[in-house]
Amino acid sequence: MAVQESSLRLNMNSPGGSLITKTHAITGVDAAIFAVCLSTFLVRFGFGELNLIVPYHLASIGVPRTLIGIALSLNATVEMCTALPAGAMADKFGRSKMFLLGLFLVSLTLACFSLATEWWHFAMLCGFLGFGEAFTIAPALALLTDYTEVERRGRVMGFFDASVTLGYAAGPLAAGFLYEKFGHGITFQIASGMVIIAFVISAFLVRDVSRDVGHLGSKRSIILSDADLSQYKRLFPLIVSWILAMFILAVGQVVIPMYAEAHNVGTGRLGIVMAAVCITLIASYVLFGAIADRVGRKIPMIFGLSVSTVSIMLMGITNTWESAEILLPMVAVGGGAFAPAALALLGDIAPERGRGVTMGIYDVVVATGMTMGPLFAGVISDLMGFGALFLMCSAITAANLVMVTFFVKMGDGGGKCAHRS
- Domains of the chain, residue spans: 5-9+18-207, 226-411
The predicted pLDDT at position 21 comes to 35
CATH 1.10.3720.10 applies to domain 5-9+18-207: no
Decide if 5-9+18-207 and 226-411 have a common fold.
Answer: yes
C-alpha dist (Å) from residue 234 to 184, 185, 229, 279, 292: 46, 47, 9, 33, 19
Measured between alpha carbons, how far is 382 from 395 in angstroms, rounded to an integer? 19
Question: Residue 208: helix, strand or coil by DSSP?
Answer: coil
CATH superfamily of 226-411: MFS general substrate transporter like domains (1.20.1250.20)
**What residue spans of 206-266 are helical by DSSP H?**
226-262
Counting beta carbons within 10 angstroms of the beta carbon of residue 305, is it exposed (0 to 12), middle (13 to 18) or buried (19 or more)?
buried
Measured between alpha carbons, how far is 200 from 195 in angstroms, rounded to an integer? 9
The predicted pLDDT at position 324 comes to 92
Which residue, among 197, 80, 183, has the nearest Cα to 131 in the 3D structure? 80
C-alpha dist (Å) from residue 413 to 116, 145, 227, 348, 358: 48, 12, 17, 6, 17
Whole-model pTM: value is: 0.79
The predicted pLDDT at position 230 comes to 59
Note down pLDDT in tens along the chain; length 421 residues.
344 443 444 433 333 333 333 333 445 688 999 999 999 999 999 988 887 788 888 888 888 877 887 887 788 888 888 988 998 999 888 999 999 999 999 999 999 999 999 989 999 999 999 899 899 988 999 999 999 888 889 999 999 999 998 988 888 888 878 888 888 889 899 999 999 999 999 999 998 886 555 443 344 444 445 445 556 677 888 888 988 998 898 888 778 878 888 888 876 777 788 888 888 999 999 999 999 999 999 999 999 999 999 999 999 999 999 999 999 999 999 999 999 999 899 888 887 777 888 888 888 888 787 778 877 887 888 889 889 999 999 999 999 999 999 988 775 444 444 444 4
Measured between alpha carbons, how far is 61 from 190 in angstroms, rounded to an integer? 22
Measured between alpha carbons, how far is 262 from 356 in angstroms, rounded to an integer? 43
Cβ-Cβ contacts under 8 Å for 236 (sequence gap 6 or more): none
Query: In degrees rounded to 5, what are phi and psi of residue 176?
Result: -60, -45
Cβ-Cβ contacts under 8 Å for 183 (sequence gap 6 or more): none
